[in-house]
Structure 1
Amino acid sequence: MEWSKLLNGSRLNEADYEEQPHRPSYVRDLDRIVFSAPFRRLANKTQVHPLHDHDHIHHRLIHSVETGSVGRSLGMQIGHWLEQNGQIPSGGKHTVSGVVQSACLAHDIGNPPFGHSGEAAIGSWFQERFITPSGLFTEMDKILRSEFEEFEGNAQGFRIIANTEMYRGAGGMRLTKSVLGAFSKYPVSAHVKASVDENYCGTKKFGFFMSEAPVFTSVAADLGLIEQKAKSGSWWRRHPLVFLVEAADDICYNILDIEDACTAGDLSFETVKGALAPIAGSNTFLDGKSEEEQVSYLRAKGIGTAIDACVEAFKENYQDIMSGTFTSSLIESSTKAQDFQNLKDMARRQIFKAKRKTELEVSGRNVLHRVLTGVYPIYEALGKVGWDAERLQGYNPQLVRALGLELRGVTDAYSALHSLTDYVSGMTDRYTVKIARMVSGT
């Protein structure tokens, strides 16, 4: 892969765009993401702890901003190194940094309410209906069912930024193609993923729906991503900057989930201090500091050392990254790999199975199922009137108005079910609870 293509600054569906000297493309991308409604809604979406009353517990918006900050630092260091080695022009480090930061800000924009448990809840609702299909479910092509049965926030995110937000159906946010590439952690569709017979990091999940496949294919070609063939179609090797976006996310959620657990009372101070100290390093000075100050210091120091470790891992694996053969994460390939694995193990044992979190995940699943069950009949009725929303009668148009449901572009069962998931996955945690009560009458 070549940086001259990978840093492509052209915009999706905006052929006449000309970069302004006082406003680089990556700045415009940042602005479009930050001022978008889906980004703003992240302020009320779960990171780890659902519906928590403590103001200092992370939600998706704060996590995204912090990930963007770490991504900017990673991008600036790697960009400077690429400049020094003549891989990109002088000043290109700012472009690399800006592209990574933009992709980081958007990386969770497709996540549904209640975190990863929300993804599982949406998927399970569809799984139940495809077992004995009726209505619209009987009209769905079997190869497309996995898009719903294994609902994936990464693919929903690509749909938002490249299709449904701002310029709906005409490029979405119209971000630069370099940002779209850096965003795409899993450059494969759901049905192609099922036929990939290679153990590659970019095919662990799927990153776009069939509805956005033509867009991704075009973007990948312009970026010069390495195309691969499977039985069901094409997939691609990751854009090199994906590894920096992934590293920024890994650094933030692993360290900050532990800090949040201390704040929430799920982990003791001594446990958190013992977990963060190896990452922060031995040269830490904590005498005279409060417990909160010590945790904050270790968190900040740990993020800094993890950034440096990931930068070195990128450099050491540069040739494999550029040839598309690197199939690990930067954290897993860094000198901090075991320390981060210890954090993950601790989170799995003591945070993700905490009683309050588990109870709220169960509640969240039932809430999402009530919303899906309550809203779905609108689409079934829409199909019966030839997909003409003006012909809906009785209770349905009233419910459409109450929900603010977007029915433009719904023309068949496939687009109908995606419209349903667009609506439900876009909700905030508390709004989901409100709508569940409204549609179920409870």
Structure 2
Amino acid sequence: MQSVVITGMGIVSPLGHDVELFWNGLKAGRSGISVIDHFDVSGFGTKIAGQVRDFDPEALFGRKDARKMDRFVQFAVYAAEQAVRDAGLEPERVDRERFGVYVGTGIGGITTLTDNMEAYQQRGPGRVSPSLVPMMISNMAAAQISIRYGAMGPTLSPVTACSIGNTAIGEAFRLIRSGEADVIIAGGTEAAVHPLSLASFGNATALSKRNETPERASRPFDAERDGFVMAEGAGLLVLESLDHARRRGARIHAEVIGYGASSDAYHVVASHPEGEGAFLAMKRALQSAGVSAAEVDVVSAHATGTQVGDLAETIALKKLFGDQASRIPVTANKSMTGHMFGAAGGAEAIALIQSLKEGVIPPTINLDHPDPACDLDYVPHHARQAPLNIGLSNSFGFGGHNAAILLRKAEF
């Protein structure tokens, strides 16, 4: 089996649109949550989100190309550009048939869909864009990246809700490890901070309503947590076989050593209350890597700030680590970014890579009143220095989809 390494990273997030800005924001415990200002939220119970700001697609891609891509695709293409550049990858020198793209999204082109529905209702069928479908459908982020770089290998758009990023990275890892591909751009993207999705999640009572103090709204593991905060962005990685990376003299950020997936088989939106599926995904990631739980140095939690979800993940971590659970630092990036949905796994993988490289664990902010039932070491308030070698990252999604990836510090 091939060893699989990460050579490139790209990010679009509420904390910034390059890895350095994103990472520095996390280390500083800076919140990217603010009052939504790109549409009228006066009639909504929740008025806050993690918004991507200062993103100008026309400046990045030109007016003609930008208008052909929904916002979720724009985020993905720009994150891919960053990742390819960071990897020093010259696509024309890669075997195109062994170059793939695994990039997914949870909600897809909701803005394109609703804009065209409005045009149809107000002005009739002749005003619906012929580009509606190829702009809206979920596979278009992967397709646009594939076209841009001439990647003719397997192209996949996993739809596993909020676990998409880890699913994409994990499945890419499997394909490269098996020897079926050399290079895969993998991760997730999302642009769902939109009136329709805000209304739906709000009516489901899933969202925090701390509108007066948005930077304090996302509160994983806190006793006063009142729901998650919507966010948007993209997080993409370049994965390669170690042999391929070495042949071209690439810098290696980290190694992917394990991946596990599972289903709760329980409920369409609620986590299994005992964390059974989450535990299985983590256990399988360890098994695929051939390492023990005792070798894990840090956990990047899914931790969205919901009452049931955070408790279920805590229970699963206790089951995985047993008596050693209290010694494992667990960090919750969503306390700062909000929940980026399909983009969360890729973004959090980038944060974990940076943690392993620098020996720094970002904090879980807003953990002011720890939930007695959530009693692990969540690295509250301030970043922490620690020797780190192996990190575990969790992503869980609606429908009970669970995906965990295991990363190791580069030693090549």
Greater relative CO (CA pairs within 8 A, separation 6+) = 2
Provide the TM-score with structure 2 as the length reference.
Answer: 0.27
In terms of fraction of residues, the more helix-rich structure is 1
Provide the TM-score with structure 1 as the length reference.
Answer: 0.25
In terms of fraction of residues, the more strand-rich structure is 2
